[in-house]
Chain A
């Protein structure tokens, strides 16, 4: 439970993760309340996708813990982890649809693997999921025949096929035209309500995210910079959060990539 009485589905404590020498997370704490849409925002390269992979147990943190529904994700055997994952859906940035299967078979895939249901029932469920994302008509198409936005909707239908408790969205709005962005935003919100999901939304599309989420974390430089409701985030006075929200090219996050050498020396280096 949080201080305001909400039940926590995912609890991240003291998470530390590094890729070789590059520190991604330096002891962060994050709570994902059950039944809400929680957004993780931050500049590119802050490891937002990494966080989802850590929650899904694909990668191991160097320190700290991640609990999903009271179970420590990284203390599970492979079999137990797979059981946990059946209750998590994940939407990859590019959809990650299986290219040798039709849209229908892609959505049927987790059901065929796990549910043991008869074909007729699987067919009904798949058609219902596809109808929910508006793509029942595309059931017999292959992934290469549909647009990127449609692929994400198919992936969303697949992610909720097993009726998970939680869905993780990895940059769902990146590179989408305004219409499919609107469609995806509505889907995230309506599916969360209709299926009683908990959603984690990783994104850097500020306005879209602030308009559909219930709770927002802003992460950068391995730390949580700000947390709160979208209204509180909008009013934040932290210079870094402001730079991110207002899209200023220079500020606490510098425009120039860090370098030891000064510009003039670098330019004249060849002549010297």
Chain B
């Protein structure tokens, strides 16, 4: 009986979230008409996430290079280090780690911001001024998040493979040949790998921002409600990113 109730509740909120997604998508043209708001939000969720993204990218790339080198050198294949780092980052770690970090950095703040706007009657106030909060507040944030995610993923991957991560450790510290590091990446990576990254990051962008905005918009208008919304945003979107990554990889596996 209890299980039925829980399942019913889950299906109900899933339906509600789906309707919310449709409402957001329908309001996207309205967001395009307010480019200033969108740019402002890209700054809030994208630009302000840059530090955590670049630093994490560097460390992930560095660790990959260290571990990869240790294995490859046993087979005398350390010149393939570039390809190993690039494949790992482009296909998996780039979009997934960016998704997870974005959920923690930007998703939580989106949920808290919108939840607090609701708790302090700012959203009701807009409604009473005949301004649709979905068009004015939610849609610009949704669009900005979807634009920001692939860009952040690209920067993460660049840091991990090239600049301070794999390149620094592999070539500068461990002494892998500069030319073979890049040529392995050049011959190994195909355009479809880049497309795969792009698709993943777009899907994660939609998912994380959808979850964050839904949680914020439907938060109970109390301190506890807002705190619950931020926690659920991070937990749900992290799990969603990981699950979606598996599904997407399974589909695109060749």
Distance in angstroms between the alpha carbons of A156 and B127 in the assembled complex? 16
Contact with A along B99-127 (1 / 0, CB 8 A): 00000000000000000010011101111
Distance in angstroms between the alpha carbons of A88 and B130 in the assembled complex? 9
- Residues of A near B120 (CB, < 8 A) are 94, 96, 99
Within B131-149, the residues touching A (CB, 8 Å) are: 131-132, 136
Asked whether A86 is an interface residue with its Cβ less than 8 Å from the other chain, the reply is yes
Distance in angstroms between the alpha carbons of A93 and B136 in the assembled complex? 22
Nearest CB of chain B from residue A82's CB, rounded to whole Å: 4
Closest to B136 in A: A113
Asked whether B129 is an interface residue with its Cβ less than 8 Å from the other chain, the reply is yes
B124 near A92: Cβ-Cβ < 8 Å = yes
Task: Name the one of B128, B131, B136 contacting A90, with C-beta atoms under 8 angstroms.
Answer: B128
B122 near A58: Cβ-Cβ < 8 Å = no
Asked whether A193 is an interface residue with its Cβ less than 8 Å from the other chain, the reply is no
Distance in angstroms between the alpha carbons of A85 and B128 in the assembled complex? 6
Task: Name the one of B122, B127, B129 contacting A99, with C-beta atoms under 8 angstroms.
Answer: B122
- Residues of B near A109 (CB, < 8 A) are 129, 131
- Residues of A near B127 (CB, < 8 A) are 56, 58, 85
Distance in angstroms between the alpha carbons of A168 and B131 in the assembled complex? 17
- Residues of A near B132 (CB, < 8 A) are 82
Residue among B121, B122, B125, B127 with most chain A CB within 10 A: B125
Task: Name the one of A58, A83, A114 contacting B128, with C-beta atoms under 8 angstroms.
Answer: A58
Asked whether A23 is an interface residue with its Cβ less than 8 Å from the other chain, the reply is no
How many residues of chain A are within 8 Å of chain B by beta carbon? Answer: 24
- Residues of B near A94 (CB, < 8 A) are 120-121
Residue among B121, B132, B136 with most chain A CB within 10 A: B121
B125 near A113: Cβ-Cβ < 8 Å = no
A113 near B121: Cβ-Cβ < 8 Å = no
Within A200-246, the residues touching B (CB, 8 Å) are: none
B130 near A83: Cβ-Cβ < 8 Å = yes
Task: Name the one of A58, A89, A97, A162 contacting B124, with C-beta atoms under 8 angstroms.
Answer: A58
Distance in angstroms between the alpha carbons of A162 and B129 in the assembled complex? 9
A96 near B130: Cβ-Cβ < 8 Å = no
B121 near A92: Cβ-Cβ < 8 Å = yes
Distance in angstroms between the alpha carbons of A82 and B126 in the assembled complex? 11
Distance in angstroms between the alpha carbons of A155 and B128 in the assembled complex? 12
Distance in angstroms between the alpha carbons of A90 and B128 in the assembled complex? 7
Distance in angstroms between the alpha carbons of A158 and B127 in the assembled complex? 14
Distance in angstroms between the alpha carbons of A82 and B127 in the assembled complex? 8
B122 near A86: Cβ-Cβ < 8 Å = no
Distance in angstroms between the alpha carbons of A156 and B188 in the assembled complex? 65
A96 near B131: Cβ-Cβ < 8 Å = no
Closest to A88 in B: B128
Residues of A with Cβ closer than 8 Å to B? 53, 56, 58, 82-83, 85-86, 88-90, 92-94, 96-99, 109-110, 113-114, 155, 158, 162
